Chains A and B, each alone.
Chain A
Amino acid sequence: MAVSFPSVEYFEALREKMAAHQDKFQRLGFIDTTFGVSVANNGKSRSFILEFEVYELKSVREVPSVDPRQVDFVLVGDSRVWREMIENIRRNGEADTSHDINTLAHLGEQLKIVYDSPDGHDKLYRFMESIQEFFDLTSQVDVSFNQ
C-alpha cells in the first residue's frame, strides 16, 4: 500500500527499511542528529522532526512548525522539489546527482537549510552519506502525493 508524502507514515516506512538494512548503516557509522523537514504547499506547510541515534531513526513526529533552535538544522522546500526528489529516487533506485540532498540544498536554490548554530548545520555534512542513504530507501517504498 502506498504511503502519502508528506506524512509521518512516509518517514515511518523509511524507518522500517532502515532497520532492515542495518548492515549498510552500521558500515556508514554512527548517525547522531535531530533535524527538521518542512514541506511547503500553497502557502501552507507541514513539518516533521526526525531524531536519529546510533544507526537508527529513533523517532519521527509531525509538528506545527520547527524551531531551528530545537534541532540541528531544517531542510525546507516546496512540495514540488520534494516530489521531484522522491520520483527521481523511485526511478533510479537512488537519487542522481541533481536530486540528492546536498545538491538540492547546496546553494539554497531548491531546498533551504535553516539553522540556528553552525555546529548543528555542520552535522548535515558529518552524517551526509547516512542521511542520503536514508532518503534513498524511498526506492523501496510506494509513495503517493496527497497535496
Chain B
Amino acid sequence: MAFYADKDYTQDQEVLEKMNQVMAGNLGLGWYDARTEKIKGRPRDLRRGLTYQDLDIGSYGYSKIPEFIRDNQSMVARGSEKVGKLPDMGYVLNRKSDVWSDNVTTLYEEAKSRRWAPAVDVPWTELDRNPLPHELEAACAQLYTFLQECALVSMDFPSRWVPLVNQDLIELKSFMCAQMLDGSRLLEAFRKRALYGGAGLGRASVSAEQGLKEWLWADTYPQGSVSINLSLAGLLLAVYRHVAAFAPSRVDRRLMGYAMQDAARQVSYGLGALRYHLRHQPAQAAAMNQYLDDTEHVILALLGSPELLEPLIIISGGGLEREQVKAGRLATAKLIRLAVREYLERLEAAGLSGRPGNSRIPQAIERIQVEA
C-alpha cells in the first residue's frame, strides 16, 4: 500500500535551488495572482456566527458541486487553483447524489452547536443516591450492552467511507466526522452507564451483530446509508425515546434525551440522502427496493433479539412482577409498531413508494399479540 516519493529530495538539486532562491529573497510569487474568485464572505446572522451556508457563494459554494466530479481526485480545496502534478487519492464516491443530502450543512452546524459531554452532562452520581432494584439495574446493564454494539457500528460506518468520498464534498465529509464523534460519544455514554450501575455488562447479541454486520458491510454507500442512517438510527431513535419515557432514573432520562438528539440528526441525514439519491438517480429505486427486500430481515434480528426485547419489557414495565411484565409487553409492542410505522413513513417521504406493500416487516408485526 505504501506510497513513496518519486526521489530523494534531500539530494535533489532542483529543490535545493528553489529553496535557496526563495531564501535569498528572490520570490517567484507564482501564486500571487491565483486565478480564483475573489469574495468576502460574511455572517448573515451574527447570533449564528459564520456558517457553511453563508459561504455558499459562487465557485466556492456547495450548490455548484456538479453531479459528476471528474476534475478532482486530489485533496485540493474546492475553488482553489489547481497547478502542477496532483496525486490521485483513489476516491470512489465521486457522484454527488450518492452521498449528498440537502440538509447536510444544517446538520453539520447543528451537530457542533448541540454537542455534549457524557462525562459531565449526565448526573451519574444520582444512581448512587437512588440505586435501582436489582432486576431493573440488570435490565439496564443488558440494554446498554446492546446499545454499545449498535453505537460501535454507527461509528464504524462513516469511518469506513469517509476516506473514499471526493474531497470536493467537504461539507458532507465534515458531517461524517461529526457522526463519528456522535457515535463514539454514545458508545462512551452507554458503556459508562452500564458499568456505573454496578451490574457489569451483559451478553452480546448474536442475531443483532449478525444483522448489524450485514448492514455495515453493504456493497455501496447509498445502501449502507439507508441501513445505518435511516433504518438503524430510526429504530434506535424510537428506542431512546421509549427508554426516556419509561426511564427508571434521571440518569437514564438525561442520557436518552441527548441520545435522541444525536440519533435524530442521523435519521434526518439518512432520509435526506436517500431522497437526494432517488431524485437524481430514479432508476436506482428498483435496486434499492430489492436491497431492502434482501436486508430488511435485520430489523427483526434487532427487534427480536432477546438481549434487547427482554430488558425493554422489564424497563417499560418497571420490574419482573407479573403485572409489570404485562405492562412492559404492552408498551414494548406499541414501541415496535411505532418504530416500524416511522421507518416506512421515512422511506415513503424519501421517495421510495410502495414500501409498506412490499416489505415483509409489517406482516411480521401484525402477528404480535399480548395475552393477559
Contacts and interface: CB of A to CB of B under 8 A. Distances in A.
Contacts, number: 84
Interface in B20-64: 45, 47-48
Contacts of B242: 106
Contact of B247 (A97, A119, A127): A97
B349 A102 contact: no
B234 to A, nearest CB: 9
B325 to A, nearest CB: 18
9 contacts: A29-B115, A55-B47, A102-B244, A107-B335, A122-B267, A124-B264, A125-B263, A129-B257, A129-B261
Task: Give the 7 A-B CB pairs with smallest separation, nearest first.
Answer: A29-B114, A125-B264, A29-B113, A106-B245, A103-B245, A126-B264, A30-B113
A107 B346 contact: no
Interface of B: 45, 47-48, 103, 106, 109-110, 113-115, 237, 241-242, 244-247, 250, 253, 257-258, 260-261, 263-265, 267-268, 271-272, 331, 334-335, 338, 342, 345-346, 349
Contacts of B261: 125-129
Given A54-B48, A97-B244, 19 more contacts: A29-B114, A29-B115, A54-B47, A97-B247, A97-B250, A102-B241, A102-B244, A107-B335, A117-B349, A118-B271, A119-B271, A122-B264, A122-B267, A122-B268, A125-B241, A125-B260, A125-B264, A128-B257, A128-B264
A74 to B, nearest CB: 16
A32 B331 CA distance: 31
Contacts of A28: 114
A70 interface: no
B19 to A, nearest CB: 47
Interface of A: 28-30, 32, 54-56, 97, 100, 102-103, 106-107, 117-119, 121-129, 132
Contacts of B263: 125
A102 B257 contact: yes
Contact of A125 (B106, B237, B246, B334): B237
A125 B106 CA distance: 15
A107 B244 contact: no
A29 B241 contact: no
Contacts of B241: 102, 106, 125
A30 B109 contact: yes
A97 B114 CA distance: 22
A29 B261 CA distance: 11
Contacts of A124: 264
B271 A30 contact: no
Contacts of A55: 47
A32 B115 CA distance: 15
Centre residue among A55, A107, A121, A126 by max chain B CB count within 10 A: A126
